[in-house]
Amino acid sequence: MSAVVLTLIAPTALKEELVAAMLAHPPTAESGFIAREVEGYGHNIDFDSVVEQVRGHTLVVEIVVALPDTEARGLLDALAEELPARGIVWRILPVSAGGTL
């Protein structure tokens, strides 16, 4: 099985729901993941307030997990079912190496 890194970018208001859904997905809970708030920039950003428009960025949550490809796609299917049309952006990239030092 090939390993991948799945990155999710979502509105910060969805953080708790996303974390709960990911912990309910056994392969993801087993692998563990990182969730952090980051600043989102770009022309297609949906700003939540005038303050964000003035600053030129919005706060979003970024969640990163490494999983086998099939498990990552299964997680995406589960999230699409549980949190449909919520503006969650995702990317899958291959892992060429990994380990613990």
Residue 41, in any domain of the structure: yes
Q: What is the pLDDT of residue 55?
A: 64
Residue 101, in any domain of the structure: no
Domain that holds residue 66: 3-94
pLDDT in tens, 36-89: 999 877 667 665 666 666 566 678 899 999 999 999 999 999 999 999 888 899
User: Considering its fold, how many domains does the chain have in total?
Assistant: 1
pTM of the predicted model, to two decimals? 0.85
Contacting residues for 76 by C-beta, under 8 A, at least 6 apart: 6, 90
Residue 67, in any domain of the structure: yes
Residue 99, in any domain of the structure: no
Residue 43, in any domain of the structure: yes
Domain of residue 57, CATH code: 3.30.70.120
